[in-house]
Every structure is written in structure tokens, then in C-alpha cells.
Chain A
Amino acid sequence: MIKYSVMFIVLVLIQVAILNQIEFSGYVNPYLYVLFILLLPVNAPRYVVLLSAFFIGIVIDLFTDSMGIHAAAAVFIAYIRPSVIRIISVHDEDTEEYPGLQKNRFSWFLTYTSIIVFAHHFILFYLQVLSLKGFFTTFLRVLISSFFTIFIIVLSQFIIFRK
């Protein structure tokens, strides 16, 4: 509980104080805070996952003047998370309680992260423009930002969260 509270605060601060400030170009904005939802225990009650995702989304929205957009994307991935885990856990060893990299195979973690991050960014970027006008430009932003988010998340697992 304390560990997740600290992670919540650290991830929000990294997101708003560093990642949102570095504006690489019009296409790249990684959203590392997704990691918080990714790392919640696999067997956590679903209402806990949904409400935590909603809460972190609202906090990010507060900082970015994008009311509701991050909350909607975060709640969506919190909802699909159990299904994603069930579908990609094909081996017997894929039954860890903690879905971080140190307890799981690299390919499992990469697949898990990629699916969730892509789903999150897809909802996020299309809600941002609120139209399908410029569908491919937005799709390109989804792809490029997803790539950077996945990269940073995997990197963070090697640097900070590995014990």
C-alpha cells in the first residue's frame, strides 16, 4: 500500500515535472504514469484497480488542463487489464501476482506493456482531438508516443524498480 502510494506520487511528478515539460516534437509525448496501473497486483479487486486508475487519470488531467481525457483512457486500460493478462499468459510460469519485469519473462512483460500502452494512447489521442479528422496524423502520434512510453517503462524496470 505504501509502496503504491509512493509510486503514485513519484510517477505523477515525473510525468508533469519532466516528461510533459520536454516537448520533443508535435508527435512525441510519453506517458509513464501508465506504469502505475500496469504494476498493480494481478489479483487486486477490480474496483480497486478501476478507482486507482480513475484517480491517477484525474490528477494528471488536473495538471494538464485536459479534464477527463486521461481519466477516461486510464479507466479503459484498468478495465481491459484482466483480459489482457489472461490472454497473454499462455505458459504455466505466467501466474505471478506481481506483473513487473523482475517476476516475469521479458517477452511477457513487453507484450503486456505494449498492448496496454497502445490501448491507452489510442483512447487518449483521439479524445484529445475529439474527431476523426486527420485520422492518420493522430494514429502516427499514437504509434510514436506508444513506442517511447513502452521504451521508458521497460527502461524504468531495469533502473528503478528492479530489486
Chain B
Amino acid sequence: MKNYAFMLFILLETISLVMVINYNSYHKARYLNSANWLAGNVYHLVSSVYDYFHLTRTNKQLADENVRLRSLINNMPGVVVTPDTLVVDSMDYDEVYSFTSAKVINNSTNRPFNYITLNKGRKDGIKPDQGIIAGSGIVGVVTNVSESYSVGFSVLNSRWSISAKLKKTGYFGSLEWTGNDYRIASLNEIPFHVDIDRGDTIVTSGYSSIFPEGIMIGTIKDFFSPQGENYYHVDVALSTDFKELSYVEVIENINKAEIEELEKTIKDGS
């Protein structure tokens, strides 16, 4: 048993690397994440301390958001408001979204794959694949849920991409974070013939059931046409400041199950 240390080393490294590889695929590692009881509670406690340092800014963000919503609500028929839930019956698209407010208790911006932990979980109706937004725009998507906490990809995670479109022309592409700057993401698949400009607004397309249409993503910061390709290279300045996240809303598409069922029958039939 002279080499037992080496055998143990190989065993532990194998376990670790299997976990690394499993965690790389969306939705595989359902149990080991920061939505667990221990991490959730520690982060909850930590964020309640850090919150005091951000009170002024958070208040201002919420006040601005109130003003924005108040002006929106006046222009919107078919809106039902109850104290903790807002059901918007969007006339245009016949989709019903319900929003749950949550607080970001852990968040990172400096890793290649960034996650956010929220203080709401299964008992609050949070489920995987629900979108997360803030007053300033898109934030991320829920991937794992425990009883009281949930964890998800933030936009700053290159393991997923977001269906986005140009507000001006309606052309859509996919938005992906490139892994360097927490303020910049790149928009792909916009063909050369589309008319784009710096400052153009990018919003969600509504083609996936995660986000409603028209949620703010950011504005075009820079773009160029790479030689020998068909698509622009577009840098988007994200509207959400990921270093200053506090309160967010989780979006549930109430018709999601029905939409997916319907889409499944088409796939099965073809």
C-alpha cells in the first residue's frame, strides 16, 4: 500500500473532474449548487449586511422603476394589479406573464461563468427556465431551484444565449456574453443588409417562452463587418449594471406548458 496516496489522489481528481464536466451542461447538476440550504442561508445573512451599504442606490433604483411603471400602466389596457403580483394580459401577443419579486443574495461578474442566487424558491412558485429581469433590463434565467432559494445563469454566462432583436427594424439574432467585460455582450446573426447604427436599442424577441417580448437588453456600442462573413460583429452595451443588482423579478409564462405541449405535437408529427 505504498502508493495509496497516489491512488486516492487519482480517485479524488476523477470525482472532481466528472463534476466539472457534468456541471458544464445546462441543467445536469441539479443538487450541488448555491441554491442549497447552507449556501442560501449564509448568502442571505451576508447580503442583509451588504444591503446597508447600498440602501441609497437601491432606493433610487426602485423609485425610478416606480415612475417608469406608473407611466406604463396608464397606457395599458387589461392590466390587473394586486399587492404582490402583477398580471399583465398583453393584448398584442396573447401571452400571460406573472412576476414575482426576489432579491439577489449572491452574484458574480468576474468569472467566465457567472451565476446569481435569489432568495425565493420552489415554495414561492419559482421554477427552472423562468426569466429574471430588473428595472433596468434583462438579468438572467433560473436554472436550479430549492425549497427557499434559486440559482440561475446571469447574462454574463456563456453557457446560454438570448433571443434578441433590434427594436427599430425587428431583425433578430442571438445575444451571447463573450466572457471579458461585464458591461458588453455580443449580438450574432444580424446580416449585412440590415440597417444598424450605434445607439440602436436591443430588446428580447419573445421567440422563447422565457422572456416576454420587448424587455430591454442594451444598446449597440460598436459594430463592424468582418471580411468573408455574412453577419455583423455587434457589441452591445448591457443596460443592466451587474455589479449593482439588488431587487429583481422572476417571470412566469403562465401558458408555457401549453405552448410547449403544442410545439411538441408539431415536432412529433413531422
Task: Contact check, B111 vs A71: say whether CB atoms are below 8 A apart.
Answer: no
Cβ 8 A contact of A66, one of B23, B109, B180: B23
User: CB distance B110 to A64 under 8 Å?
Assistant: no
Q: Which residue of A lies closest to B18 (CB)?
A: A68
Residues of B within 8 A of A21 (CB): 46, 50
Interface pair A75/B9, CB less than 8 Å apart:
yes
Contact A62 B17 (CB under 8 A): no
Q: Are A23 and B110 in touch, CB under 8 angstroms?
A: yes
Question: Looking across the interface, which residue of chain A has its beta carbon closest to that of B111?
Answer: A128
Assembled-state Cα–Cα distance A24/B34 (Å): 22
Partner of B12, one of A24, A50, A64: A50
Does A69 count as interface, using CB distance less than 8 angstroms?
yes
Residues 136 to 152 of chain B near chain A (Cβ within 8 Å): 151
Q: Is A65 an interface residue (CB 8 A)?
A: yes
Contacts of B20 in A (CB 8 A): 67-69, 72, 127, 130
Complex interface bits, A10-33 against B, C-beta within 8 A gives 1, otherwise 0:
000100110011011111110000
Contact B34 A54 (CB under 8 A): no
A57 near B16: Cβ-Cβ < 8 Å: yes
Asked if A62 and B38 sit within 8 Å, CB to CB, the answer is yes
Q: A interface, by DSSP: helix, strand, loop or mixed? A: helix
Interface assignment of B243: CB less than 8 Å from any CB of chain A? yes
- The answer to whether A17 and B42 have CB atoms under 8 Å apart is yes
B33, A67: Cβ atoms closer than 8 Å: yes
B145 to A: closest C-beta gap in Å: 14
B13 at the interface (CB under 8 A from A): yes
Nearest chain A CB to B37's CB is how many angstroms away?
A: 10
Task: Please name the residue on chain A nearest to B45 by beta carbon.
Answer: A17
Contacts A26-B181, A67-B20; is A75 near B12 (CB within 8 Å)?
yes
Asked if B42 and A63 sit within 8 Å, CB to CB, the answer is: yes
Q: Is the CB of A128 within 8 A of B4?
A: no
Q: Closest residue of chain A to B4, judged by CB?
A: A47
Contacts A23-B109, A47-B4; is A62 near B34 (CB within 8 Å)?
A: yes
Name the distance in Å between B157's Cβ and chain A's nearest Cβ: 10
The reply to whether B39 and A71 contact each other, CB–CB distance below 8 Å, is no
Report if A140 contacts B (CB, 8 A): no
Q: Given the complex of chains A and B, what is the CA–CA distance between A114 and B226 in angstroms? A: 43
Q: In the assembled complex, how far is the CB of residue B217 from the closest CB belonging to chain A, in whole angstroms? A: 21
Chain B residue with the shortest CB-CB distance to A131: B112
Assembled-state Cα–Cα distance A151/B225 (Å): 45
Q: A17-B42, A62-B36, A63-B42 in contact; A46/B5 too (CB < 8 A)?
A: yes
The listed residue (B39, B43, B243) touching A23 by CB distance below 8 A is B243
Tell which of A24, A72, A128, A137 touches B16, judged by Cβ atoms closer than 8 Å: A72
B15 close to chain A: CB less than 8 A: yes
- Chain A residues contacting B34 (CB-CB under 8 Å) are 62-65
Known: A68-B19, A68-B20, A71-B19. A29 touches B13 (CB 8 A): no
Q: Which residues of A contact B24 (CB under 8 A)?
A: 130
With A16-B42, A29-B110 already in contact, the answer to whether A68 and B8 are too (CB < 8 A) is no
Q: Give residues 156-209 of B contacting A (CB, 8 Å).
A: 179-182
Residues of chain A contacted by B29 (CB below 8 angstroms): 67
Q: Are A26 and B182 interface neighbours, CB within 8 A?
A: yes
Q: Which residues of B does A touch, CB under 8 Å?
A: 4-6, 8-9, 12-13, 15-24, 29, 32-34, 36, 38-39, 42-43, 46, 50, 106, 108-113, 115, 117, 151, 179-182, 243
Closest 7 pairs (CB-CB, A-B)? A68-B19, A72-B16, A68-B20, A46-B5, A65-B115, A67-B23, A71-B16
Beyond the given A16-B42, A65-B151, could you list 11 further A-B residue pairs with CB under 8 A, ordered by the A residue number? Answer: A26-B109, A26-B110, A28-B110, A47-B4, A50-B12, A57-B16, A66-B113, A67-B23, A68-B15, A127-B20, A137-B180
